[in-house]
Amino acid sequence: MTATREPASPPRGRFISLEGGEGAGKSTLLAGLRGYFARQGRDVLYTREPGGTPVGEAIRVLVLDPAQRGIGAETELLLMFAARAQLVRDVLQPALAAGRWVLCDRFVDASYAYQGGGRGVEVARIAEVERIATGGLLPDLTLLLDLPVAAGRVRARQRGTADRIESERDDFFQRVRAAYHARVQAEPARFCVLDAALPAAAVLQAAVTAIASLSVEHAR
């Protein structure tokens, strides 16, 4: 009798997140990376946080609305993670299981930076919520666009009106930046820190180099 073999499941896809403070250039880099991946012929799923699902996009509108002045730090944290839980379940896990690559504009590090560093929520409390929302899913590579706060704010101002979080003061964004640096210290192997003060083409090149080494690991 011949044994029937289950078809082999595809290798898990790769998960890349983009992070950075205000005006660091994530959208600019994302546009460049879309071009890079298209030239490579790689099928990539692009998504963002908060957002990426119908309920996540509704939460995004709520949480960034400047009229929502009374949102507390814990409420903000839970809203970010509520959107994330839906994204993980409906988008990230299925795509990665199917072998697709995913490029996500922000992920859990943003909560540690903004709600942890910026708002002062304890790291241990964030980790509790993270366990429930993501089940421990982390990116394979996180590209952190690092820029002094003053430079980022000048760039962001060129874009026009500020949302609820962008309306925070400089010291908030200094704490956000410091919290990102703490994440890098804690997990240096996952992060690639990009000097976001460089011209956009140089930032893209550095990002592509980091992604190329991920592709090599993936092929092994």
Name the residue nearer to ligand Z5A (CB basis): 22 or 146: 22
What is the CB neighbour count within 10 angstroms for residue 155?
15
| R_g over Cα of the chain | 18
Which strands form 101-105's sheet, in the order they lie side by side?
Answer: 44-48, 101-105, 15-20, 141-146, 191-195
116 binding ligand Z5A? (CB under 6 A): no
**Could you tell me the two tokens for 196?**
């976001």
Smallest gap from residue 20 Cβ to ligand Z5A (A):
5
Q: Out of 132, 199, 216, 220, name the contact with ligand Z5A by CB under 6 A.
A: 199
Q: Which residue has the tokens 């509520």?
A: 82
Q: Out of 13, 23, 52, 139, name the contact with ligand Z5A by CB under 6 A.
A: 23
16 binding ligand Z5A? (CB under 6 A): no
d(CA 182, CA 117): 10
| 38 burial level (CB within 10 Å; 0-12, 13-18, 19+) | exposed
Name the residue nearer to ligand Z5A (CB basis): 62 or 214: 62
Name the residue nearer to ligand Z5A (CB basis): 78 or 214: 78
Q: Out of 16, 45, 59, 80, name the contact with ligand Z5A by CB under 6 A.
A: 80
3-state secondary structure of 144: strand
Q: Out of 32, 86, 101, 105, name the contact with ligand Z5A by CB under 6 A.
A: 105
52 binding ligand Z5A? (CB under 6 A): no
Q: What residue ranges bind ligand Z5A (CB under 6 A)? A: 20, 22-28, 49-50, 80, 105-106, 110-111, 114-115, 155, 158, 165-166, 196, 199-200, 203
